Chain A
């Protein structure tokens, strides 16, 4: 390296950088890791997709970024979560509260139960700005109404006085988004934000995300198991399996040329994405087996090996590390290592 890095170069590094993260759950007196050796970065303004089946550790990773891993039984046992260089795993509760909803905010999967039934939606948005910006009640309320209109809720002035039960699921999710964005956070985490909604409403919500990202410039971490959504929404994709990252790369290369056998399986599950258009409808593909639970995993070996048609002896014995496969991509599979030889 020709010159030592200047301090301003350090701060202009990734907005959020997760290093060697390990999250464990204490079950029957034993620490069972549910996320291991996880590292990833996110740059300002970009959209990162995190993909994987249920139980692969996506949601708990998202919660860890906000310091919200349910404790007990869970905790972050190793690694760093660096927001602009500040390690959030070492931050106290007061500091975390200043970050939550302000620098990093989150939209959850269940709009029906994620809003408090006994307060108006206007209040639930307004209190967030009151806490973070110290606005007066009136100013915060105006801001809440303004946000409701931003997220496309008709007649926001009257709607602000509504209670959650008076709104549909899609509308409630819009309110959740308004809450998440009201402080103009740097990072917005969306954990399966449309799973509970109708297909048409899903499309509207994703349009809203894209629209708002342009206006607010927040980086988005989109957690999903829907490859179609990934293709439409994200810049970069990270695939998780059984608590580990197994592949990462740009969305285009990820879909065109998946490297890890698991990713290939995921992509083939989407009928119209994997194959060139043809007259014969492609048969639906399914990855055999299920994701092993964290307790069933051994200390070493590829977690996907039992379901993998290419598995060899090495896969069962040694855990593959992430291996660069060119184009800024990486995959954790021994096949890639062998092929590179």
Chain B
């Protein structure tokens, strides 16, 4: 703009890629780093725990309702004499698997609906947003309960049911990002050199909508895990697989005799979701440095 230079700020920072910069910001957020470590630990335990700790989770191994620390079974046993520690180690697999797969489905539906609505606008947008509104208003857990009950509680069905009722916020966010980005110069430039709609949506706009979607993905995983816990607490879980929510549901009638039966699985769920939300918050701050000043 002018040939006169005014007091250069000391040492201009080297340009770094946005993802590396975000990672740097993320590392500075101690809570998020702790969350990440906790989540990695939980994933590790769920992955190799059952191989190391081989007590079967679904069989009676000791006196029912044994308190923690009174037997070889560290966390005690439940009303059927099943080992709680084995339950926790094995139950994490189902909970986490459903959490991640449901989040994937949530994201898939949400991004598809939001991208189409935001990219095409007009009547496509109107129709899709009506549908989104409908799903937003629907009491989501009740709807998921109906779906799971009618279509049998397999892992896949539960994931689909959770995805089908939780995609609305991902859709709204994607739509907003697409509406913002489709008017940007680089998109117009691509369009002017003849890029088709599919290319514009997938290759041009979507990558740029990445950061907020990553945050939504993290939060969706947390909500999906809570959802799975709620459904299996109500008895809507795969009868052949142990899960944390189901452990709470199974042990609930016996809380007067064994508070530990419900406490430990609850803590497991709480820690997992807490870790994920800390990571989500950290990612959010890392991608939006401006918001940190709030």
Do A and B touch directly, given a CB cutoff of 8 Å in the complex?
yes
Q: A288 to B5, Cβ gap below 8 A?
A: no
Q: Is A10 an interface residue (CB 8 A)?
A: no
Q: B9 to A307, Cβ gap below 8 A?
A: no
> Which residues 275-332 in A have Cβ within 8 Å of B in the complex?
288-290, 292, 295-298, 306-307
Contacts of B44 in A (CB 8 A): none
- Shortest distance from the beta carbon of A307 to any chain B beta carbon, whole Å: 6
DSSP majority for the A interface?
loop
Q: B2 to A292, Cβ gap below 8 A?
A: no
Q: A292 to B7, Cβ gap below 8 A?
A: yes
Contacts of B3 in A (CB 8 A): 288
Q: How far is the CA of A297 from the CA of B7 in the complex (A)?
A: 7
Q: B4 to A307, Cβ gap below 8 A?
A: yes
Q: How far is the CA of A292 from the CA of B5 in the complex (A)?
A: 10
Contacts of B5 in A (CB 8 A): 306
- Shortest distance from the beta carbon of A303 to any chain B beta carbon, whole Å: 9
> Residue A288 contacts which of B4, B7, B9 (CB distance < 8 angstroms)?
B4
Q: How far is the CA of A296 from the CA of B7 in the complex (A)?
A: 6
Interface size class of A (residues with CB under 8 A): 10 to 19
Q: A289 to B9, Cβ gap below 8 A?
A: no
Q: B4 to A298, Cβ gap below 8 A?
A: no
Contacts of A307 in B (CB 8 A): 2, 4, 6
Q: B2 to A298, Cβ gap below 8 A?
A: no
Contact flags (1/0) for A163-189 with B, using CB distance below 8 Å? 000000000000000000000000000
- Shortest distance from the beta carbon of B2 to any chain A beta carbon, whole Å: 4
Contacts of B7 in A (CB 8 A): 292, 296-298, 306
Q: B4 to A292, Cβ gap below 8 A?
A: no
Q: Is B16 an interface residue (CB 8 A)?
A: no
Q: A306 to B9, Cβ gap below 8 A?
A: no
Contacts of A298 in B (CB 8 A): 7
Contacts of A297 in B (CB 8 A): 7
Contacts of B1 in A (CB 8 A): 289-290
Contact flags (1/0) for B1-41 with A, using CB distance below 8 Å? 11111110100000000000000000000000000000000
Contacts of B4 in A (CB 8 A): 288-289, 306-307
Q: B2 to A288, Cβ gap below 8 A?
A: yes
Contacts of A288 in B (CB 8 A): 2-4
Contacts of B6 in A (CB 8 A): 289-290, 292, 296, 306-307
Look across to chain B and name the residue whose beta carbon is closest to the beta carbon of A295. B9
- Shortest distance from the beta carbon of A290 to any chain B beta carbon, whole Å: 7
- Shortest distance from the beta carbon of A256 to any chain B beta carbon, whole Å: 29
Q: B2 to A296, Cβ gap below 8 A?
A: no
Q: How far is the CA of A306 from the CA of B1 in the complex (A)?
A: 14
Q: How far is the CA of A297 from the CA of B8 in the complex (A)?
A: 10
Q: How far is the CA of A307 from the CA of B1 in the complex (A)?
A: 13
Q: How far is the CA of A290 from the CA of B3 in the complex (A)?
A: 11
Look across to chain A and name the residue whose beta carbon is closest to the beta carbon of B3. A288
Q: How far is the CA of A307 from the CA of B2 in the complex (A)?
A: 9
Look across to chain B and name the residue whose beta carbon is closest to the beta carbon of A296. B7
- Shortest distance from the beta carbon of B200 to any chain A beta carbon, whole Å: 36
Contacts of B9 in A (CB 8 A): 295-296
- Shortest distance from the beta carbon of A241 to any chain B beta carbon, whole Å: 13
> Which residues 53-69 in B have Cβ within 8 Å of A in the complex?
none
Look across to chain A and name the residue whose beta carbon is closest to the beta carbon of B293. A73
Contacts of A289 in B (CB 8 A): 1-2, 4, 6
Contacts of A292 in B (CB 8 A): 6-7
Q: How far is the CA of A295 from the CA of B3 in the complex (A)?
A: 20
Q: How far is the CA of A83 from the CA of B166 in the complex (A)?
A: 61
- Shortest distance from the beta carbon of A36 to any chain B beta carbon, whole Å: 16
- Shortest distance from the beta carbon of A198 to any chain B beta carbon, whole Å: 27
- Shortest distance from the beta carbon of B244 to any chain A beta carbon, whole Å: 44
Q: How far is the CA of A117 from the CA of B212 in the complex (A)?
A: 31
- Shortest distance from the beta carbon of B13 to any chain A beta carbon, whole Å: 14
Q: How far is the CA of A293 from the CA of B211 in the complex (A)?
A: 31
Chain A CB within 10 A, most for which of B3, B5, B6:
B6
Look across to chain B and name the residue whose beta carbon is closest to the beta carbon of A308. B4
Look across to chain B and name the residue whose beta carbon is closest to the beta carbon of A297. B7
Contacts of A306 in B (CB 8 A): 4-7
Query: Can you give 25 contacting A-B residue pairs, CB < 8 Å?
Result: A288-B2, A288-B3, A288-B4, A289-B1, A289-B2, A289-B4, A289-B6, A290-B1, A290-B2, A290-B6, A292-B6, A292-B7, A295-B9, A296-B6, A296-B7, A296-B9, A297-B7, A298-B7, A306-B4, A306-B5, A306-B6, A306-B7, A307-B2, A307-B4, A307-B6
**What 5 A-B pairs come out closest when comparing CB atoms?**
A296-B7, A289-B2, A292-B6, A289-B4, A288-B2
Further pairs besides A290-B6, A296-B6, A307-B4: 8, Cβ < 8 Å: A288-B4, A289-B4, A292-B6, A296-B7, A296-B9, A297-B7, A298-B7, A306-B5
